[in-house]
Structure 1
Amino acid sequence: MEPGEKPKSKKSEYIAPLLAGALAGVSVDVALYPLDTLKTRLQSEKGFQKSGGFKGVYRGLLTVAASSMPTTALFFVSYESTKKVVSPLLPVQYAPIVHMTAAGIGEVLACVIRVPTEIAKQRKQTHAGIAKRSSVSILLEAYKTEGFRKGLYRGYLSTVARDLPFSFIELPVWELMKNMVKSHNDGKITSFQSALCGSVAGGFAAAVTTPLDLAKTRIMLAEHYTVARKLRIVPVLSDIYLESGLRGLFAGAAPRGTAFMLGGFFFFGAYDYCKAFVEEALDR
């Protein structure tokens, strides 16, 4: 339990983060989806214009909307539960380690849902020929032609390798900034203040991890698994650096950073607001 927080009922400890994470996740993902599409096209090996340019920026939206709620709900239930278990085991000065551990476990579990979604979404975003096909049909074809691991979960490790560092940065920074605000406000923090903390944390983490996101995108968008299996994060980034330099490694950084700054503001603000609302309702 964080300093200044009231004891919560067993029911609210799990239901509140589940519902709050689901609502916050779907609202932000839907609102900022066009920026994600532009980022993916900037990172595509085919190039921005050949991948669709500014056309059809909502391709794959339904895929994200349908999967966003369970993905973020699973992440935050895991995150809050792990914090509750690990926090008593370490002194308070090791709080960043607690947050990193909780974020890591949450991300690994969330990627079980996120990776197939990303594959369907990014193919719809960059391949005009399959833009009108359903995400389910895209994933079924991937499963039939390339199998479970090679088709549905291609790029799982690169996605985890991208999301773990992101969460290792974003969540501890968010928690640290919230604690700084609380220390100057009698242990209290508003949803708006939490949103500002989330905006700074999200933008910073997104900027630092853009190369990892770029590598993940290239691996997922490879035409066939025989090509994708030869792609590894370090060789992919090395090739991009040799071809385009440091600027090439940060392709898509502007829309990605903007999306995560806006997303961090709305996501963490909505999460804290919804969580507090649900906790109050359940603890009455």
Structure 2
Amino acid sequence: MDAPGFTASLVAGGVAGAAVDLILFPLDTIKTRLQSPQGFNQAGGFRGIYAGVPSAAIGSFPNAAAFFLTYEYVKSLLHTDSTSHFRPMKHMLAASTGEVVACLIRVPSEVVKQRAQVSASSKTLQIFSTILSEEGIQGLYRGYKSTVLREIPFSLVQFPLWESLKALWSWRRGRVVESWQSAVCGAFAGGFAAAVTTPLDVAKTRIMLAKAGSSTAVGNVLSAMHGVWRSQGLAGLFAGVFPRMAAISMGGFIFLGAYDQTRSLLLEVGRKSP
């Protein structure tokens, strides 16, 4: 990928990610509290729904930038023409690689954010310091495996579907889709992917919120899902599915639309610059 493409992907991904995380933060808080082991009301209900927002604000730009930079770079390495049957595989591999890299930034931010969301009386810096003093750096990366195991299936569904919907819309119109049309495709793809991966998201939340030293804190995704199934059944595994779908559908609209728009503008400016 050339330098303009590198810069455009970096900035566009960061801008889009920060916009989504801050605009839709209340929905994320509600989802986390619905999934928490103590239950929605005990976790804070509708009170303090912006608890943990500093952690999200700090992590969102570099997290999203890292994902899209990796996504575009891997796509550029895997050369396939527009009619190739391997294009969906290219998008799946690029998205999965992007998630593995982005989670190195996302997970520490997510751990601090989620603990703040279910303990609104605690400050973000205080939670960060407590994790470091009690669990060390390893505590900040608790749930890394479960986050990757959630994000890869999510991306395997969302990004090929997004790219396919854009290609179909473009083919029907006879020209490249506009940013708002890309955003509509992103909303549909994100909402669908969110619904089918909710059990993995519940497991990730339980692992991140578990007390240090507990069996859940070990990070076994199947064990966490089995524990939820035994105590709450199917409803527990899909706790928070509607706010998750709403947040990711709206997030997909904002994120992928803002990404396409910002990247196009930056590349256009780059072409016009001497």
Which TM-score tier does this pair reach, normalised by the shorter chain?
Answer: over 0.9
Q: Distance in 2 between matches of 1:96 and 1:66?
A: 32
Which of 111, 114, 138 matches 2:127? 138
Which residue in the other structure is 1:222 paired with?
210
Task: Flag the 1:215–1:70 CA change in 2: closer, same or farther, 3 A.
Answer: same
Letter in 2 for 1:166: F
Deviates more, 1:57-66 or 1:218-227: 218-227
Deviations 1:217-256 (A, max 9, x none): 0000012134444452112212222222212210000100
| 3-state SS of 2:85 partner | helix
CA contact (8 A) 2:54 2:124 kept: no
CA contact (8 A) 2:210 2:217 kept: no
Letter in 1 for 2:42: K
Deviates more, 1:12-21 or 1:219-228: 219-228
Deviates more, 1:44-53 or 1:120-129: 120-129
| 3-state SS of 1:92 partner | coil
Matches within 5 A, 1:254-269: 254-269=242-257
Q: Distance in 2 between matches of 1:178 and 1:47?
A: 39
Q: Distance in 1 between matches of 2:213 and 2:101?
A: 24
Task: Flag the 1:277–1:102 CA change in 2: closer, same or farther, 3 A.
Answer: same
Which residue in the other structure is 1:278 paired with?
266
Task: Flag the 1:229–1:118 CA change in 2: closer, same or farther, 3 A.
Answer: same
Q: Distance in 2 between matches of 1:90 and 1:152?
A: 41
CA contact (8 A) 2:142 2:219 kept: no
How many angstroms does 1:88 deviate by?
A: 4.0
Which residue in the other structure is 2:170 paired with?
182
Letter in 2 for 1:174: W
TM-score where L is the length of structure 1: 0.92
CA contact (8 A) 1:79 1:103 kept: yes
Deviations 1:122-156 (A, max 9, x none): 110001342xx233x4233312221222x111110
Which of 192, 197, 201 matches 1:204? 192
| Residue 161 of structure 2 is aligned to residue 173 of structure 1 | yes
What is the alpha-carbon root mean square deviation over aligned residues?
1.7
Matches within 5 A, 1:110-149: 110-130=102-122, 133-135=123-125, 137-149=126-138
| Residue 229 of structure 2 is aligned to residue 237 of structure 1 | no
How many angstroms does 1:269 deviate by?
A: 0.9
Deviates more, 1:154-163 or 1:234-243: 234-243
Identity within the alignment, %: 45
Which residue in the other structure is 2:37 paired with?
45
How many angstroms does 1:115 deviate by?
A: 0.4
Deviations 1:83-109 (A, max 9, x none): 000124997111111001000110000
How many angstroms does 1:267 deviate by?
A: 0.9
Deviates more, 1:167-176 or 1:183-192: 183-192
Letter in 1 for 2:251: G
Equivalent residues, number: 272
Letter in 2 for 1:34: P
Structure 1: unaligned runs, 5 residues or longer: 1-8
| Residue 66 of structure 2 is aligned to residue 74 of structure 1 | yes
| 3-state SS of 2:47 partner | coil
Structure 2: unaligned runs, 5 residues or longer: none
CA contact (8 A) 1:146 1:225 kept: no
Q: Distance in 1 between matches of 2:198 and 2:124?
A: 29
| 3-state SS of 2:136 partner | helix
CA contact (8 A) 1:116 1:139 kept: no
